[in-house]
Structure 1
Amino acid sequence: MTISGVKSGVQAVFIPSLSLFMLTRLIGGNRVITLGTAIEEHFLTTMNWGMGSTIGVVLIVAMFIIMFLTGERKKKGARRHEA
């Protein structure tokens, strides 16, 4: 019962923290660098589209991996527990 809560917490906290760059920009100014702000900087400031795209793909892959690892897996023929 606890592990499902931990998995839900990871999905609720980790996934948005990767992509919500505007909130960190408003709170921390330009001192805090997240993946979202790094992508924005590479696209808009340095015009390095290749690096911005690479970081974006890494971000998407990281989100899929986290979702896969923390997702619910149903076994074939298994019944769900009713609480």
Structure 2
Amino acid sequence: MPRSIRERTVFVDSGAFLALLDADDSRHVEAAELLEKIERENYPTITTNFVVAEAHALILSNLGANVAREWLKNLSIPI
């Protein structure tokens, strides 16, 4: 039986955003592989404005202003 869209939706938290951007993050490879699977299997993704704010702060602190700015400009996940 097909699963509903709600059951298939993936919530993306701030740690996942940072891990995807930071090649030195201990979970970078795992996050990249999971993202590839999510995209390949067309799982919808969602996050919240609070997660975006937290992720931006983490990215800014760990990777710098330019990376944080570009991440915000290119963010395409529904909030």
Give the TM-score band, short-chain normalised. 0.3 to 0.5
Query: Larger C-alpha radius of gyration, 1 or 2?
Result: 1
More helix by proportion, 1 or 2?
1
* TM, length-normalised to structure 1: 0.34
Q: Which has the higher strand share?
A: 2
